[in-house]
Amino acid sequence: MLFESRERQAYQHIRAEIEGRLVSTGAPVEISDFLLNHWAYLLVGIYIGLGDQHPDWEAGWQTVNALLWSLAPKRDRAETEQFLRLLPTLLGRLQDGCDAMKLDPAERDALFSQLALLHAAVARAGLQAQPGEAGPVTHFGQDADMVMGDEELAGLSQRTPAITKTKDSFGPSDELGLDRLKVGGGMLLKTAAGEKRLYLQWVSPMGGMYLFANADGFDAVSLTRARLIERLAKGDAHLV
């Protein structure tokens, strides 16, 4: 009974601390629910088993802070580049935490699909930031950067962190060169305004979203894997 009481008190304290950090962030409800109803219990387990001086305890709270920061508006390109450098570590820690909690695969996949969409929106807007602009220049929620068609949303939500090879609708992606595409790789994209040369800036951890921008980091374009394969197969895009 004493242990249960201690565990309950720890959870209440940790939940209150997370709620306090959520107040000023405007984080989507899915992220808030994950932190309050899953990550908080992970922190309780660390506290009860290892104490509040253990590196895992510190890493757990660092992950909370990093996740909330990753969803916040980025003020300029330098901050956006810092955000892009952070993502691999952040997503790796979240994956490790989900494994430790034995989170239901469907819940985990829904979480990472949502994060891929949100992070792509933050990165896309941040790379379009013009030097000297005052105040936040990116947003997430009901804004233009979050508008995606039903087909794109379906294609993104069907991807999972553990990528399963499937037959692409427009032919094997390796024949199109997509499987060899790395960050920094170039693409010529046909648009109504003419042909643009863009460079890959970021790939979502699930491989379902690709973010391109020009050499200066502006004119950002985000494409789902399915849409990119379609454009490559039709000749509307060429990898260079």
What strand order describes the sheet that includes 194-203?
Answer: 221-224, 209-213, 194-203, 186-191, 237-239
Q: Which two tokens stand for residue 149?
A: 């068609």
Flag whether pLDDT at 64 surpasses 90: yes
Is the pTM higher than 0.85? no
Mean pLDDT value of segment 39-64: 93
- Min mean pLDDT across 1-10, 29-38, 58-67, 70-79 is at 1-10
Write the CB contacts of 102 (distance below 8 Å, at least 6 apart in sequence).
none
Flag whether pLDDT at 150 surpasses 60: no
Angle of the 40-50 helix axis to the 77-101 helix axis, nearest 10: 70
